[in-house]
Structure 1
Amino acid sequence: MDLIVFGQIVREKRNAIGLKQEELSQRSGVAIKTIHSIELGKGNPAIKTILRIFDALSLDLLIVAGKNAKK
């Protein structure tokens, strides 16, 4: 998965539902620094981290993977 595209998807969904990074951090249990890095397309997040963020944002991994493949 392209980390830049993944970060854009996370940021767009977070903004669409009106969450700040701090709120996403609290909901997901993922450190705010990690969320910030992911949204910038940096780092290499563990699958556990990705799944926590997806759960907090109600994102479906297969849908995101499909969007990522199209870009």
Structure 2
Amino acid sequence: MMETVLEILAKVKPNVDFKNATAIVDDGLLDSMDIVMLVGELNDEFDIEIQVTDLVPENFNTVDAIVKMVERLEDED
């Protein structure tokens, strides 16, 4: 799943080293439009529904955090 999330991030915002990023949102690596695109891609790829309540920096600041959020949403389904 980690590789898939990294591939999606690379599609949304090429030329960013997401694998080593520790503050993706806080450092401004993704802006609000990037987040919207990312959410759409994650929803489609993993057949989940990311809710507005999930749109907090803690869920998007690292690839690990994104993976954990996706896994949690898959488990809830």
The two structures have a TM-score, normalised by structure 2, of: 0.41
* Greater helix fraction, Structure 1 or Structure 2: 1
Q: Compare relative contact order (CA 8 Å, sep 6+) and give the higher one, 1 or 2.
A: 1
